[in-house]
Amino acid sequence: MQNNCIYLDNNATTKVDPEVVEVMLPYLTEYYGNPSSMHTFGGQLAKAVKTAREQLAALLGADESEIVYTSCGTEGDNAAIRAALLAQPDKRHIITTQVEHPAVLNVCKQLETQGYSVTYLSVNRQGQLDLNELEASLTGNTALVTTMYANNETGVVFPIEQIGLRAKEHGALFHVDAVQAVGKIPLNMKKSTVDMLTLSGHKIHAPKGIGALYVRRGVRFRPFLLGGHQERGRRAGTENVPGIIALGKAAELELLHLEEATKRERRLRDRLEQTLLAKIPDCEVNGDTTQRLPNTTNIGFKYIEGEAILLLLNKYGICASSGSACTSGSLEPSHVLRAMGLPYTTLHGSIRFSLCRYTTEAEIDQVIAVMPEIVERLRALSPFKNDEAGWLQAQEQTLAHR
Amino acid sequence: MWDYTDKVLELFYNPKNQGVIEEAEQAGVKVATGEVGSIACGDALRLHLKVEVASDKILDARFQTFGCTSAIASSSALTEMIKGLTLDEALNVSNKDIADYLGGLPEAKMHCSVMGQEALEAAIYNYRGIARDVHDDDDEGALICSCFGISESKIRRVIRENNLTDAEQVTNYVKAGGGCGSCLANIDDIIKEIQQEAATPAINNYGVKVATDIANTKQSQLGLTNVQKIALIQKVLDEEVRPVLIADGGDVELYDVDGDRVKVLLQGACGSCSSSTATLKIAIEARLQDRVSKNLIVEAVEPLL
């Protein structure tokens, strides 16, 4: 298997930090007890779990009692939405956005079949929400506002505290999917309007299979997984102790590196972005470039298709991601980019580069070196580049009239 | 990551025949172009054919493709496959042939091979001045998938040609159902209908079981019993021959079948028509040979008075 790639797909997953691996290993081997056990062998693990909980709470600016471990971000999102609705059985309205992760969107779609009404807030060309639309959508029947903190595809950051204030004014709970924001944006839940917040370990250099849900003290919470009394009755199931230990350490390291790493990632990201825009004609950045994660850039290369770009990048050992339909099982391109109203000429050829604290100057140089050639090569194949016959123009006119 | 064959990757990394064929001022040579797909769908192919007019032979083929790895590889494969063929021979190239040439495609990418086949048809139809919608069966042309603009006739064709058995496969081959998904139930119904047509024996006017899908039945003619053969002859006469004759004031009735000799009674205008021999041979015998067995000989018998 290939393991020496230039990895610029950190919004998909991240490398597990070697220090994280080191601290979790003993819990896969010698300390394999069950923290719920009465005997010392298992019981001593409860202390390690508590330490990890404190480490994670510190990253969030929260109290350790407000942390509920989950298996992943998807579980956190599902649990938060269900909990908010179960706690307010008389309210039947949810507000979310068109650009959420499927872990939120698909739950909302299912809830619509169960008698809930859902408002999907639109976004503008920059991928930003209109707070007036949110304000107009809130009613006394709104049980929950659930939005992401930062978009996984564009990195666009939503004005979370302003959203939360409006939700509070209408008595709605506020859940935030912060899977992409944690570790990249300083958080202080004590001063926040957020009631529940989802995070995932593998996005912050912990392994896959561990996540957490922040639940503000005092928020009524009904568990999604029923069973034993783990996590103070809020999430049944024997704890993933190695994962929890790893997440704790990863959180500690994120907090330690947050300021310096984000500054560095932003500098590298900006250099990559600005150089590609300067070197390659007919491309543009997708999304708000002022309210954006420091590690993410999403660039639309016109007239060519994303999967083909990715495969040529892959030939150079470069890993990135695309909003193209052909990269997934779906036949529809990215719902995020479509919601932003991007033209099809850009939409299908959009590539996301997402950096992390391990990204080097040399890696960025390599992408800058190969990307112009890749784009040129695919454009030479494309019937839409230099479209003298007007095929594309005719199609765009048809699309404009739809 | 998609599991592509070495051939797909080879033609993606080093595509053959990419580019345009300009209309040259060359005596006896014409350029045909076919365009399918769209920027909205995420893949599009413009195919150029250089045709020797006298022989109908494809002298050169080139492509321009907007699309993924398999779309580019399928386009390149197609151009390699059709060079040197006559247009009629090229029309026999199916999407399956393109996929086979590539050593297979991931099922979710089969629509790329279908795009190749359609571009080829479009180019040849354009060259021959035939409107593309003539190719589709107008009676079955209702739009099923509005997201990708796919008609019922196209869905039926791809189901039959590739023996597809579920809606997901149809989505993989022609994209229908891959958008909002609201047409998936309709696609399921079409599949069910086609499967029933192929598998369920029907009862004809004489209460005899025959295979209803005559085209499919051609392949299994050798296994027809006498009763099935007679019933099939009767069905072809009733459904395909008699309506034409009746429209001209005539008619035909099956009198007897003796081995491969089909005896019929020509009636009405057909009975007294000076061209009844032509009717017998072209309208009836040729049709029965095509639909039932090439060994059949049709004879007219005089009605008993």
Query: And the tokens for B17?
Result: 């025949």
Query: And the tokens for A49?
Result: 């779990």
Q: Phi and psi of A300, rounded to 5°?
A: -95, 120
Nearest chain A Cα distance for residue B46, angstroms: 7
Query: And the tokens for B105?
Result: 């495609």
Q: Which of A5, A319, A326, A356 is catalytic?
A: A326
Nearest chain B Cα distance for residue A391, angstroms: 9
Q: Looking at chain B, which residue has its C-alpha nearest residue A314?
A: B1
For the cut 70, the answer to whether the pLDDT of residue B300 exceeds it is yes
For the cut 70, the answer to whether the pLDDT of residue B253 exceeds it is yes
Catalytic residue check, A283? no
In chain B, what residues touch A314 (CB-CB under 8 Å)?
A: 1
- Per-residue pLDDT tens, chain A, 402 aa: give them: 666 899 999 999 999 999 999 999 999 999 999 999 989 999 889 999 999 999 999 999 999 999 999 999 999 999 999 999 999 999 999 999 999 999 999 999 999 999 999 999 999 999 999 999 999 999 999 999 999 999 999 999 999 999 999 999 999 999 999 999 999 999 999 999 999 999 999 999 999 999 999 999 999 999 989 999 999 999 999 999 999 999 999 999 999 999 999 999 999 999 999 999 999 999 999 999 999 999 999 999 999 999 999 999 999 999 999 987 776 666 788 999 999 999 998 999 999 999 999 999 999 999 999 999 999 999 999 999 877 557 777 776 666 655
Residue type, A371: M
Nearest chain A Cα distance for residue B47, angstroms: 10
Question: Which residues on neighbouring strands pair with residue A399, listed in sequence order?
Answer: none
CB contact under 8 A, B66 and A303: yes
CB contact under 8 A, A326 and B40: no
Question: What is the Cα–Cα distance from B21 to B85, expressed in whole angstroms?
Answer: 17
Nearest chain B Cα distance for residue A348, angstroms: 6
CB-closest option in B40, B44, B72 to A308: B72
- What are the tens digits of pLDDT across the range B145-201? 888 888 888 889 889 888 899 898 888 888 888 888 889 988 998 998 888 887 765
CB contact under 8 A, B178 and A396: no
Query: What confidence score (pLDDT) does residue B303 get?
Result: 66
CB contact under 8 A, A392 and B39: yes
CB contact under 8 A, B69 and A311: yes
In chain B, what residues touch A389 (CB-CB under 8 Å)?
A: 46
CB-closest option in B42, B71, B147 to A333: B42
Query: What confidence score (pLDDT) does residue B138 get?
Result: 43
Which residues neighbour A29 within 8 Å (Cβ) at sequence distance 6 or greater? none
Residue type, A363: E
For the cut 70, the answer to whether the pLDDT of residue B132 exceeds it is no
Question: What is the Cα–Cα distance from B223 to B208, expressed in whole angstroms?
Answer: 16
In chain B, what residues touch A307 (CB-CB under 8 Å)?
A: 2, 68-69
Residue in A108, A88, A75, A110 with CA at minimum distance from that of residue A236: A75
CB contact under 8 A, B12 and A324: no
In chain B, what residues touch A311 (CB-CB under 8 Å)?
A: 12, 69
Q: What is the dihedral of CA A247, A249, A250, A251, to 10 degrees?
A: 90
| Residue B66 in contact with partner chain A when CB distance is under 8 A | yes
Question: What is the Cα–Cα distance from A248 to A50, expressed in whole angstroms?
Answer: 9
Percent of chain B's residues with pLDDT above 70: 85
Q: Within 13 Å and on the Cβ side, how many CA atoms surround B167?
A: 19
Query: What confidence score (pLDDT) does residue A392 get?
Result: 77
Q: Looking at chain B, which residue has its C-alpha nearest residue A330?
A: B178
For the cut 90, the answer to whether the pLDDT of residue B240 exceeds it is no
| Residue B101 in contact with partner chain A when CB distance is under 8 A | no
| Residue B169 in contact with partner chain A when CB distance is under 8 A | no
Query: What confidence score (pLDDT) does residue A5 get?
Result: 93
CB-closest option in A305, A331, A380 to B178: A331
Q: For the whole model, what pTM was predicted?
A: 0.80
Query: What confidence score (pLDDT) does residue B294 get?
Result: 82
Q: Looking at chain A, which residue has its C-alpha nearest residue B33?
A: A389
B88-115 mean pLDDT: 94
In chain A, what residues touch B38 (CB-CB under 8 Å)?
A: 395
Question: Which residues on neighbouring strands pair with residue B6, listed in sequence order?
Answer: none
Q: Looking at chain A, which residue has its C-alpha nearest residue B68?
A: A308
How much is the mean pLDDT over chain B?
84
| Residue B64 in contact with partner chain A when CB distance is under 8 A | yes
Burial B79-92 (b: 16+ CB within 10 A, else e): bebbbebebeebee
Query: What confidence score (pLDDT) does residue B229 get?
Result: 87
Query: What confidence score (pLDDT) does residue A327 get?
Result: 67
Model confidence at B215, in pLDDT bands (50, 70, 90)? very low
Question: What is the Cα–Cα distance from A33 to A43, expressed in whole angstroms?
Answer: 8
Predicted interface score ipTM higher than 0.95: no
Query: What confidence score (pLDDT) does residue A147 get?
Result: 98
